[in-house]
Structure 1
Amino acid sequence: MSDPLTGEESVPRRLTRLASADNFRDVAGTGAGYPTTDGRRVRRGVFYRSNELQLTEADAGVLAGLGITRIHDLRSQMEVDAHPDVDVPGAVWHHVEVSGIPMELVSGLADADAATRVMRQVYDAFVRSPDARASYAALLGDLATRSAPQLFHCTAGKDRTGWAAVLLLEIAGVDRDTIVADYLLTNEVSSTTREKYLALIAEHLGADKVAVYEPTMVVDASFLGSAYDAVAELYGSVDGYLRDGLGLDGDVLGALRERLR
């Protein structure tokens, strides 16, 4: 069996999918895990990512069976109150809020270009916002200090969660092309959820609004590029962002690398 992103032959590993959370996946990828630039592999079964955990009882049992002991929820308090996570046996819930797509901007979108601009602003803010940096520092610090499997998620599991997964793969030493390809997998694995919400937009706002709002429901390399551009402008490199922007020291980054590889 070959890895769908690298084309390399890999050890077959079952890909766990959840019927009630379609963007749930292992940060390490499929097969034997993503290769790193120094010839190693990202270890599977350590960190998981997902969209909101509106889980069936069976899917909650699947997460418990994976040994997940801590769930980091990146959503706002309003999002949490509206759709609280289902309890996962054996897992402790931890709130680490990161601001997502500003509803006041989304509600007045004129066209798809405006939606794209908003999404780029969101990713830029992941890097520039002091609150966002504090939250990502807290998340990565917590991930570094616990040995059992952990999961992090937001609402769609694509933007706030996507940037967290990107940082973990950067820390692990995965090449940028593979990181971007993994980020874009959201468009494939969560197509059912996206189609559901686009259908609701058509029903309540009109079919002509579907194309306007679609950029807010997908991931795009240009969105991620906005975050990387802000990193380069403000910190020179991802290492500089992790060190100076998030304040992570060598012990935390070393612990993450050890867990990831």
Structure 2
Amino acid sequence: MTDTADRPVASDAPRELARLASADNFRDVAGPGAGYPVAGGGRVARGVFYRSNELQLTAADAGTLADLGITRIHDLRGQMEIDAHPDVEVAGASWHHVEISGIPMELVSGLEDAESAVRVMREVYDAFVRTPGARAAYAELLTDLATAPVPQLFHCTAGKDRTGWAAALLLEIAGVDRATILTDYLLTNTVSTATRAKYLALIAEHLGEDKKAVYEPTMVVEESYLQTAYDAVTELYGSVDGYLRDGLGLSSDTLTRLRARLVG
């Protein structure tokens, strides 16, 4: 039995147009328009799950999230990231911390060239699949998304890596094809240009103009990063279904409930 009663009705209406000036990587997991098509018919339901970068929100943007009816915010960042930039409170939403390790600052601070930066990013995505801590955190997140009232939002700092893998898994569960999942993942590079430009300007100011090219791979998403996670899934579990069941330990009931919420 699925729990469709607390799932918003899929819609292309005003919530599709919601953009946050203070969180440029905020978007609906369902994608643009009426939502991504899924295998077997139907589309990913809009207004159920949202993704974002850190919630350093203006009062107007916090009000927008409250108006969307978001009931739960999952913060995937580490404690140091949270302490530096705590989330702005959103009326009506509870806050849930489920930490997933992101880009190791000790490795990033010593980067010498862009190739090293790409290697670090691939290691990050490999760790999402291989490390017990990351698997436990993703299992906790997906279980909560399946069982707590919706709509819900999850985010990390840039909303691209930890958040990107979570969104990819949701779209996999919904039955979206891999090419569409990749296109959705790469949207970060389009919608977050302002944030990226801001941080690259800071790098140029403090480290020198030549360092921008070195650090830029850590500020974007690339197909090879996501593919690294999929490669680890295939190596260790054979398939995404195997990873979800054996790697994350998600029950058939949890996956069924998630898909019921995801597919309109």
> Could you say which TM-score interval applies, normalised by the shorter chain?
over 0.9
Answer with 162-171 or 143-152: which moved more.
143-152
Candidates 64, 67, 70, aligned match of 2:69: 67
Amino acid at match of 2:34: A
- Find the residue that maps to 1:48 and give its secondary structure: strand
Tell me the CA shift for residue 237 of structure 1.
0.2
Candidates 112, 115, 118, aligned match of 1:113: 115
Tell me the CA shift for residue 146 of structure 1.
2.0
Instruction: Name stretches of at least 5 consecutive residues in structure 2 with no aligned partner.
Output: 1-10
2:204 alignment partner in structure 1: 202
Mapped to 1, the partners of 2:234 and 2:221 lie a distance apart of 21
TM norm structure 2: 0.94
Please list the CA deviations of residues 37-91 of structure 1 after superposition, one character each: whole Å capped at 9, or x if unmatched.
Answer: 2121000000000000000000000000000010000000000001000000000
Amino acid at match of 2:123: Q
2:137 matches 1:135 = yes
Candidates 84, 95, 106, aligned match of 2:86: 84
Amino acid at match of 1:179: I
Tell me the CA shift for residue 30 of structure 1.
1.2
User: For 1:7-86, what aligned pairs fall within 5 Å after superposition?
Assistant: 14-86=16-88
Amino acid at match of 1:52: E
Tell me the CA shift for residue 11 of structure 1.
5.6
- Find the residue that maps to 2:149 and give its secondary structure: coil
Candidates 215, 218, 233, aligned match of 1:216: 218
Tell me the CA shift for residue 15 of structure 1.
2.1
- Find the residue that maps to 2:50 and give its secondary structure: strand
- Find the residue that maps to 1:86 and give its secondary structure: coil
8 Å contact from structure 2 (residues 102, 162) kept in 1: yes
Tell me the CA shift for residue 199 of structure 1.
0.2
2:171 alignment partner in structure 1: 169
8 Å contact from structure 1 (residues 12, 31) kept in 2: no
Amino acid at match of 2:203: I
2:159 matches 1:157 = yes
Cα root mean square deviation, aligned:
1.0
8 Å contact from structure 2 (residues 145, 152) kept in 1: yes
Tell me the CA shift for residue 147 of structure 1.
3.1
TM norm structure 1: 0.95
1:178 alignment partner in structure 2: 180
Mapped to 2, the partners of 1:182 and 1:214 lie a distance apart of 20
Mapped to 2, the partners of 1:12 and 1:211 lie a distance apart of 40
- Find the residue that maps to 1:207 and give its secondary structure: coil
Amino acid at match of 2:101: S
Mapped to 1, the partners of 2:244 and 2:172 lie a distance apart of 10
Amino acid at match of 1:22: D
8 Å contact from structure 1 (residues 17, 25) kept in 2: yes
- Find the residue that maps to 2:153 and give its secondary structure: strand
Tell me the CA shift for residue 148 of structure 1.
2.0
